[in-house]
């Protein structure tokens, strides 16, 4: 085929594909323009997840009447004047492509009035073509209205996700800019209902309360010195860095001078508040929301030894540094940046977050395992554990006696609750009480018959089988038991639900609330009764019977986090994810001392499972040490 020049309309749509990926991309570009215009109040309205309508209104400086039409031309911008300006970008937008790209794939209406003019301008652009322009009366500021996004580009339209998913992306964009600019009042409405609003006080903590809820913010520590006017400060540091020179005391160390100009502030959650993935590590560089794997890793590293494996921190970190030290012109959507000295930025973030955590960690309390052991010793000094030798428990030596009958076992405190989750008080076989038994229970066993010998480190059950020694992780094993029972009950539509005496209000992070609201019917089938309670709050009226004694608010936030981890291909996969979360929270934890009868009941229930060797997350429930291996270790065989 011959080489040819593409039509302008096709060029515009190709360019739009780099900038306008989905409705949230449109809102990002328009909000950035409003911030650059000095707005103090920004209002965003969406209908049908942005497909049908997006409207962004601000009280910024507005566009001059003589320049309104020019603003919709490609590469038209007031923010750059020469190539040298690319090294000192102090605005969020600078390419001059956003309005032209958006207008090429939608019906665009712009209503604006410059602060120095007395009359406003109303323009209508339909898929890149100017339809009308007239003078109107209005207050200073700008209102951008986008209708029928991608209506004439069906190939792009079909790649959009569900309305709830698109709403989630929009919520994420708006809340991030609200966190970066706490002095601006942001209001977000979906289908006429307010979804989010910040106060515009300049206090980052106020925005955090709106995004994460007051309970979560109580567990967050300030990082560095909290700044109030992020945008003004960004301009100050830019002016200060214009004449950046190496320190006179050591001309060979410009890096040390750079580190003195790097500012890190924000908030980081204490280890008591964590998340299932990295999505709640929110980063800003010079007021710009960015995605940077190294900076995210710096935050994670600051929590080294403070968080469990597989859990991630919640943090909002704002990094300020001289503009010439960071390149923002590396990604069409300006979502990524490149540092001249990435190591200095990494070190600054890691040190600041670590310092904040260590300064605010609560004084640790004695481990609960010791209290459990002392209580167990006082309750039942003659409790048998294993074998014929002395067994050490919490620093005290006890000589086991012969195993009494099941009816003579004294119950552990709270054993009524244990029965609800499938651990019997006695060793005698009992019918299932937390759901239907697995259909495989009566068939050939997956595990050999095991004889309980005792408990190790209050976490592992020691058992003997025909093939050697077994060490069973009590937490992973209990997870597997409850998972199979709860899934069986789910298949039969017989999940036990328990109403709460007092309905519990729970705040969910703004960018997760829509996911929870979209899956309320699925949660109801799993034993939850939850209803919206205004804004990002939900009212919990009932939970699965297994969860009655749990921290329900924390559990619900974790479920919302699980829903964030991408669209499940099947509804059943999503339900399984939620069930795994419930079982993980309610399983016996490491550090809990078990009676002999409880260990025996746990192992018997595990033997009845379909897949007893792994927990629902794939972690092994047990390890086996065969007799031949033991004989080799003791030198009995060569």
Q: Do 515 and 455 belong together in one domain?
A: yes
122-131, 331-340, 579-588: least confident range:
331-340
Q: What is the pLDDT of residue 472?
A: 94
Quick one: pLDDT band at residue 513, thresholds 50, 70, 90?
confident
Q: Is there a domain that residue 333 lies in?
A: yes
pLDDT in tens, 28-76: 999 999 999 999 999 999 999 999 999 999 999 999 999 888 888 876 6
Q: Do 136 and 259 belong together in one domain?
A: no
Report residue 421 as tokens.
Answer: 């989750």
Name the DSSP letter for residue 138: -
244 or 520: which leads in pLDDT:
520
Residue ranges with strand state E in 26-105: 41-47, 53-58
Q: Do 337 and 451 belong together in one domain?
A: no
Distance between CA atoms of residues 543 and 565, nearest Å: 22
Q: What is the pLDDT of residue 52?
A: 92
Distance between CA atoms of residues 182 and 525, nearest Å: 40
392 or 539: which leads in pLDDT:
539
Quick one: pLDDT band at residue 121, thresholds 50, 70, 90?
very high
427-436, 512-521, 592-601, 619-628: least confident range:
427-436
* Residue 306 belongs to domain spanning: 214-242+252-360
Asked if residue 292 lies in contact with residue 246, where contact means CB atoms within 8 angstroms, the answer is: no
Nearest to 102 by CA among 4, 182, 31, 5: 31
Q: Do 194 and 222 belong together in one domain?
A: no
Our measurement of the distance from residue 411's CA atom to the centroid of its chain's CA atoms, rounded to an integer in Å, reads: 40
Residue 171 burial by Cβ neighbours in a 10 Å radius (0-12, 13-18, 19+): buried
Asked if residue 522 lies in contact with residue 574, where contact means CB atoms within 8 angstroms, the answer is: yes
Q: What is the pLDDT of residue 75?
A: 67
Q: Do 281 and 355 belong together in one domain?
A: yes
Average pLDDT across the chain, whole number: 77
- The predicted model scores a pTM of 0.66
- Residue 392 clears pLDDT 90, i.e. is over it: no
Nearest to 477 by CA among 613, 274, 378, 281: 613
Within 10 A of 233 (CB to CB), how many other CB atoms are there? Answer: 17
240 or 588: which leads in pLDDT:
588
Mean pLDDT of 371-389: 44
Mean pLDDT of 482-511: 84
- Residue 418 clears pLDDT 60, i.e. is over it: no
Residue 568 burial by Cβ neighbours in a 10 Å radius (0-12, 13-18, 19+): middle
Q: What is the pLDDT of residue 1?
A: 65
Q: What is the CATH number of the domain that holds 101?
A: 3.30.565.10
Q: Is there a domain that residue 603 lies in?
A: yes
Q: Is there a domain that residue 123 lies in?
A: yes
Q: Do 14 and 96 belong together in one domain?
A: yes
- Residue 611 clears pLDDT 80, i.e. is over it: yes
Which of 360, 392, 424 corresponds to the end of one domain?
Answer: 360
Q: What is the CATH number of the domain that holds 432?
A: 3.30.1540.20
Q: Is there a domain that residue 90 lies in?
A: yes
Q: What is the pLDDT of residue 80?
A: 59
Which of 330, 360, 390 corresponds to the end of one domain?
Answer: 360
- Residue 627 clears pLDDT 60, i.e. is over it: yes
- Residue 110 clears pLDDT 60, i.e. is over it: yes
Quick one: pLDDT band at residue 87, thresholds 50, 70, 90?
low
Q: What is the pLDDT of residue 12?
A: 59
Q: Is there a domain that residue 373 lies in?
A: no
Q: Is there a domain that residue 401 lies in?
A: no
Give the H or E element holding residue 392: strand 391-393
137-151, 163-177, 388-402, 533-547: least confident range:
388-402
Query: Dihedral of CA 148/149/152/157: which sign?
Result: negative
115-129, 294-308, 452-466, 579-593: least confident range:
579-593
379 or 515: which leads in pLDDT:
515
Distance between CA atoms of residues 49 and 64, nearest Å: 31
Q: What is the CATH number of the domain that holds 294?
A: 3.30.230.10
Q: What is the pLDDT of residue 411?
A: 37
Mean pLDDT of 136-149: 94
Mean pLDDT of 262-287: 91
Distance between CA atoms of residues 21 and 406, nearest Å: 65
Q: Is there a domain that residue 320 lies in?
A: yes
Q: Do 446 and 574 belong together in one domain?
A: yes
Mean pLDDT of 426-440: 39
DSSP string, 193-239: EEEEE---SS-HHHHHHHHH-HHHHTTEEEESSPPS-HHHHHHHHHH
Name the DSSP letter for residue 367: P
Residue 577 burial by Cβ neighbours in a 10 Å radius (0-12, 13-18, 19+): middle
Asked if residue 619 lies in contact with residue 428, where contact means CB atoms within 8 angstroms, the answer is: no
Distance between CA atoms of residues 597 and 588, nearest Å: 15
Give the H or E element holding residue 470: strand 468-473
- Residue 408 clears pLDDT 50, i.e. is over it: no
Which of 360, 385, 402 corresponds to the end of one domain?
Answer: 360
pLDDT in tens, 555-564: 888 888 777 7
The two most distant CA atoms of the chain are separated, in Å, by: 99
Q: Do 181 and 228 belong together in one domain?
A: no
Name the DSSP letter for residue 161: -
Q: Do 85 and 232 belong together in one domain?
A: no
Q: Do 298 and 194 belong together in one domain?
A: no
Nearest to 601 by CA among 616, 585, 618, 588: 588
Q: Is there a domain that residue 400 lies in?
A: no
Q: Do 346 and 486 belong together in one domain?
A: no
**Domain count within the chain:** 3
Distance between CA atoms of residues 405 and 254, nearest Å: 77
Q: Do 486 and 630 belong together in one domain?
A: yes
Cα–Cα–Cα angle for 617, 622, 623, rounded to 5 degrees: 125
pLDDT in tens, 454-474: 999 889 999 998 888 999 999
């Amino acid at each position: 085929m011959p080489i040819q020049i593409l039509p302008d309309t096709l060029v515009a749509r190709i360019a739009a594909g780099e900038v306008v990926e989905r409705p949230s991309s449109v809102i990002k570009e328009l909000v950035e323009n409003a911030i650059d215009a000095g707005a103090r109040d920004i209002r965003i309205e969406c209908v049908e997840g942005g497909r049908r309508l997006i409207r962004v209104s601000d009280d910024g400086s507005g566009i001059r009447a003589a320049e309104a039409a020019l603003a919709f031309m490609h590469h038209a911008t007031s923010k750059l004047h020469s190539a040298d300006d690319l090294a000192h970008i102090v605005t969020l937008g600078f390419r001059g492509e956003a309005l032209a790209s958006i207008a090429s794939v939608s019906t665009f209406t712009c209503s604006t009035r410059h602060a120095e003019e007395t009359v406003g301008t109303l323009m209508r652009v339909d898929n890149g073509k100017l339809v009308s322009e007239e003078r109107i009366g209005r207050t200073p500021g700008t209102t951008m209205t986008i209708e029928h996004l991608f209506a004439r580009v069906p190939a792009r339209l079909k790649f959009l996700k569900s309305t709830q998913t698109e709403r989630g992306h929009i919520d994420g964009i708006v809340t991030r800019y609200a966190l970066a600019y706490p002095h601006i009042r942001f209001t977000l409405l979906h289908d006429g209902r307010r979804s989010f609003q910040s106060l515009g006080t300049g206090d980052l903590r106020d925005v955090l309360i709106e995004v994460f809820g007051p309970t979560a913010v109580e567990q967050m520590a300030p990082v560095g010195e909290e700044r109030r006017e992020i945008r003004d400060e960004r301009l100050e540091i830019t002016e200060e860095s214009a004449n950046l020179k190496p320190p006179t005391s050591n001309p060979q160390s410009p890096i040390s001078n750079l580190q003195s100009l790097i500012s890190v502030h924000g908030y980081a959650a204490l280890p008591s508040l964590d998340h299932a993935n990295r999505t709640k590590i929110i980063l800003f560089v010079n007021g710009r929301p960015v995605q940077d794997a190294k900076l995210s890793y710096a935050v994670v590293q600051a929590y080294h030894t403070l968080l469990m494996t597989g859990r991630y921190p919640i943090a909002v970190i704002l990094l300020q540094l001289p503009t010439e030290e960071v390149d923002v012109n590396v990604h069409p959507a300006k979502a990524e940046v490149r540092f001249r000295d990435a190591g200095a930025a990494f070190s600054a973030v890691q040190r600041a977050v670590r310092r904040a955590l260590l300064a605010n960690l609560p004084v640790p309390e004695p481990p609960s395992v010791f209290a459990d052991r002392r209580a167990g010793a006082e309750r039942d000094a003659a409790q048998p554990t294993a074998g014929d030798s002395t067994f050490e428990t919490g620093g005290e030596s006890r000589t086991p006696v012969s195993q009494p009958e099941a009816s003579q076992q004294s119950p552990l405190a709270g054993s009524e609750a244990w029965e609800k989750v499938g651990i019997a008080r006695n060793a005698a076989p009992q019918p299932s009480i937390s759901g239907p038994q697995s259909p495989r229970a009566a068939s050939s066993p997956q595990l050999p018959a095991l004889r309980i010998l005792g408990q190790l480190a209050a976490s592992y059950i020691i058992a003997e089988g025909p093939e050697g020694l077994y060490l069973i992780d009590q937490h992973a094993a209990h997870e597997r038991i409850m998972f199979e029972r709860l899934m069986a009950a789910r298949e039969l539509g017989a999940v036990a639900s328990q109403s709460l005496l007092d309905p519990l209000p729970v705040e969910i992070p703004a960018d997760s609330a829509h996911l929870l609201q979209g899956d309320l019917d699925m949660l109801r089938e799993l034993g939850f009764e939850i209803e919206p309670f205004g804004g990002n709050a939900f009212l919990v009226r009932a939970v699965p019977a297994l969860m009655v004694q749990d921290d329900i608010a924390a559990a619900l936030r974790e479920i919302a986090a699980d829903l964030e981890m991408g669209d499940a291909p099947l509804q059943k996969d999503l339900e399984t994810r939620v069930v795994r979360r419930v079982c993980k929270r309610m399983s016996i934890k490491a550090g809990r001392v078990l009676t002999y009868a409880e260990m025996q009941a746990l192992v018997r229930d595990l033997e009845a499972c379909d897949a007893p060797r792994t927990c629902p997350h794939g972690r092994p429930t047990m390890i086996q040490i065969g007799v031949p291996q033991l004989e080799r270790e003791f030198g009995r065989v060569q």
